[in-house]
Amino acid sequence: MAKNIEKLIGAQIARVRKERGMTQERLAASVNVATETISRLERGVSMPSLITLGKISHALHTHLKDLFDFEYPQSKGDAFENEIDKLIAFLKTRDSDDIKMCYQMLTIIFGHIEKNYQRTGLTPLKTI
């Protein structure tokens, strides 16, 4: 869980920034850091200091605690993670055009599945 804290905080910063209609450039200027720093924070690549988090919350007109207002995603289990790892390993063997096509196909397939469940009123069984 702790290894994902950077991504969770980064996602909160990005969410609040976008809600405020603020660009990364404008937030960076308000906090007196480089735009790349904001990008890295939002992607969870680096962890901001508490001082920087305080400046960010001030620039976003939000409380510091709001940047920590998230729920840890629940693990879907080892079997799920193993299947995701296999999918990623497979995709890494393909070129970008194949990956784009797979993404488009999966989006269409899952869209149809969701429509069918909505139409029938059933709930999808999620087992893995």
For the segment 96-114, what is each residue's pLDDT rounded down to a tens digit?
Answer: 999 999 999 999 998 888 8
CB contact set of 61 (below 8 Å; sequence gap of 6+):
20
Provide the CB-side half-sphere exposure for 43 (13 A, CA).
9
Quote the pLDDT of residue 1.
45
Using a cut of 0.75, tell me whether the model's pTM lies above it. no
Residue 47 CA to residue 108 CA, distance in Å, equals 36
CB contact set of 75 (below 8 Å; sequence gap of 6+):
81
- pLDDT of residue 121 exceeding 80, the answer is no
For the segment 66-85, what is each residue's pLDDT rounded down to a tens digit?
Answer: 898 877 556 677 788 788 88
Quote the pLDDT of residue 117.
73
Quote the pLDDT of residue 114.
82
Run of H or E residues at 41: helix 35-42
- pLDDT of residue 126 exceeding 60, the answer is no
**Residue 10 near residue 70, CB atoms below 8 Å:** no
CB contact set of 89 (below 8 Å; sequence gap of 6+):
none
For the segment 18-61, what is each residue's pLDDT rounded down to a tens digit?
Answer: 999 999 999 999 999 999 999 999 999 999 999 999 999 999 99
If you classify domain 2-68 with CATH, what class do you get? mainly alpha
Residue 119, classified by CB atoms within 10 Å of its CB into exposed (0-12), middle (13-18) or buried (19+), is exposed
Quote the pLDDT of residue 113.
84
| Residue with token string 């209609």 | 21
Quote the pLDDT of residue 13.
95
